[in-house]
Amino acid sequence: MKIGMVCYPSYGGSGVVATELGYALGERGHEVHFISSSRPFRLHRFHEQLFFHEVTDVSYPLFKTAPYTLLLANKIVEVANYVGLDVIHAHYAIPHSISAYLAKQMMTRTLPLVTTLHGTDVTLVGAHEEFFQLTRLALRVSDRITAVSHALARETVETFGTVDQGIEVIPNFIDPKVYFPTEGLLRRCRKYFAPQGEKLLAHISNFREVKRVVDVVNIFARVEKVVSCRLLLVGDGPEMNRVEREVLRLGLEGKVQFLGKQESVQEILQMVDVFILPSEQESFGLVALEAMACGVPVVASRVGGLPEVVQHGKTGYLADVGDVEGMSEAVLKLLTNDLRYKAFSEQAVKWARETFPVERAVIGYESVYQEVCEHR
Ligand code: GMT
């Protein structure tokens, strides 16, 4: 099949899922055409079945900003006609599904549209008054809708009412050839970040308010009073300044290392001991899954899709949003009992590999594409 993959190129789970899915589809002989404002950040390996089409900016004195939704719609039509796309897969309803819907109207043949909901499109953007009707339209006009967790599927129905086509849940996934536990290779790095043999805690995100990165610093502050440890903060975003101020306020600057935006997060995850994700909202929490696949137990908030990803008391611990005390106790439970830690780490790898393999997801998406193409 020839699939048009529309996604955000920036640092974030939905772009990662779209890109990894693209590689997996390419491996299975499909042709995948990414359409985005710039090259998706994980689309760096050459693959003969993967292509990238950039939506070019247009400046015109009348436009305050370029009308991206329209430019994207136009690009979808151009690519669909030129390469003969069979299906459009939009990751994130706003504006991608709306652009794809516009593109469908402009086409002289049928072009099925599959929308994958990733979370903030429904929980934050879709729930804003300004986007509510548009998101509802995106849901109505998509031929098939998938969501990355049952929690997100439920929340979509609660927010927008029954979706006629139904919502199929296809959980996010990992490639165990990329995310796996390893020793040795990363000892050198570990020595650099934890020179006295300290434990290493980590958090990776786009540092938006919803991630509650300040909580991560406060959890670390409590833990490091009991166990000698360091914190690695990976990513960047609007909360960075607040987080830095909190680190300074707590006098932790010597123990917290900011690594900025990183691409090969598996290499960081492979050297850390516990991963912390105290988000306010999380439809899935892909990075928590990536951590577990690397053998790193996760301490996270009991919210959205996270209870479907992290097994409380088995592969990590869950606590209520904002429960900094509970999360620091959970980290300490893991760091102060080697036997427990080893069991959690092994269970995390097994759970991630067996429950969220890339093969299962790619077969799920493939059959969705086939069904929409058969019914066009
Ligand atoms: O979490 C973000 O801010 C980024 C966002 C995105 O669109 O990339 O992530 C969402 O999609 C990911 C991939 O499906 C999920 O793993 C994240 O949980 C979800 N984020 C939220 O729901 C806040």
The domain spanning residue 323 has which CATH number? Answer: 3.40.50.2000
This model of the complex carries an ipTM of: 0.96
What's the pLDDT at 311? 98
Contact between 298 and 344 (Cβ < 8 Å):
no
Contact between 23 and 47 (Cβ < 8 Å):
yes
Does ligand 1 have an atom closer than 6 angstroms to the CB of 17?
yes
Alpha helices for 161-264 (secondary structure H): 187-193, 213-223, 240-249
**Do 138 and 216 have their domain in common?**
no
To test the pocket of ligand 1, the residue of 10, 20, 97, 120 to mutate (highest count of ligand atoms within 8 Å of its CB) is 120
**Do 275 and 338 have their domain in common?**
yes
DSSP letters for 125-164? ITTSHHHHHHHHHHHHH-SEEEESSHHHHHHHHHHH---T
Both structure tokens of 326? 């509970």
* pLDDT 10s digits, 144-159: 999 999 999 999 999 8
DSSP letters for 12-25? SHHHHHHHHHHHHH
93 pLDDT above the threshold of 80: yes
5: CA distance to ligand 1 center in Å? 17
pTM greater than the 0.80 cutoff: yes
Does ligand 1 have an atom closer than 6 angstroms to the CB of 124?
no
Which residue minimizes the CA distance to atom 2 of ligand 1? Answer: 12
Does ligand 1 have an atom closer than 6 angstroms to the CB of 316?
no
**Mean pLDDT, rounded, for 96-104:** 97
Sign of CA dihedral 350, 351, 354, 356: negative
DSSP letters for 282-310? -SS-HHHHHHHHTT--EEEES-TTHHHHS
178 within domain boundaries: no
**Mean pLDDT, rounded, for 192-204:** 93
Confidence band for 185, pLDDT divided at 50, 70 and 90: low
* pLDDT 10s digits, 101-121: 999 999 999 999 999 999 887
Strand, coil or helix: what is 106? helix
Give the percent of the chain with pLDDT over 90: 84
Amino acid at 32: V
**Do 200 and 324 have their domain in common?**
yes
To test the pocket of ligand 1, the residue of 16, 19, 89, 118 to mutate (highest count of ligand atoms within 8 Å of its CB) is 118
**Do 221 and 253 have their domain in common?**
yes
Both structure tokens of 165? 């086509």
Both structure tokens of 282? 């999380």
**Do 160 and 266 have their domain in common?**
no
212: CA distance to ligand 1 center in Å? 14
How far, in Å, are 13, 185, 265, 304 from residue 321 at the CA level?
A: 20, 35, 25, 11
Q: Tell which wins on pLDDT, 342 or 60.
A: 342
List beta partners, residue 299. 276, 317
**Do 308 and 362 have their domain in common?**
no
77 pLDDT above the threshold of 90: yes
199 pLDDT above the threshold of 80: yes
What is the number of domains present in the chain?
Answer: 2
Q: How far apart are CA 98 and CA 135, in angstroms?
A: 8
Confidence band for 188, pLDDT divided at 50, 70 and 90: low
Does ligand 1 have an atom closer than 6 angstroms to the CB of 95?
no
List beta partners, residue 316. 298, 312
180 within domain boundaries: no
Does ligand 1 have an atom closer than 6 angstroms to the CB of 120?
yes
To test the pocket of ligand 1, the residue of 284, 298, 306 to mutate (highest count of ligand atoms within 8 Å of its CB) is 284
Q: Which of 62, 72, 58 is nearest to 5 (CA)?
A: 72
Which of 16-20, 197-201, 372-376 is predicted with the least confidence, judged by mean pLDDT? 372-376
Does ligand 1 have an atom closer than 6 angstroms to the CB of 171?
no
* pLDDT 10s digits, 78-90: 999 999 999 999 9
Query: Which DSSP letter does residue 263 get?
Result: S
Both structure tokens of 111? 């072009």
Longest dimension (CA), the chain: 67
**Do 335 and 195 have their domain in common?**
yes
Q: For the chain, what is the mean pLDDT?
A: 94
**Do 85 and 20 have their domain in common?**
yes
What's the pLDDT at 122? 80
**Do 34 and 6 have their domain in common?**
yes
**Do 169 and 250 have their domain in common?**
no
* pLDDT 10s digits, 257-294: 999 999 889 999 999 999 999 999 999 999 999 999 99
Ligand 1 atom nearest 15 alpha carbon: 8
**Do 247 and 294 have their domain in common?**
yes
203 within domain boundaries: yes
**Do 149 and 203 have their domain in common?**
no
187 pLDDT above the threshold of 90: no
Residue 332: domain span: 187-355
Does ligand 1 have an atom closer than 6 angstroms to the CB of 314?
no
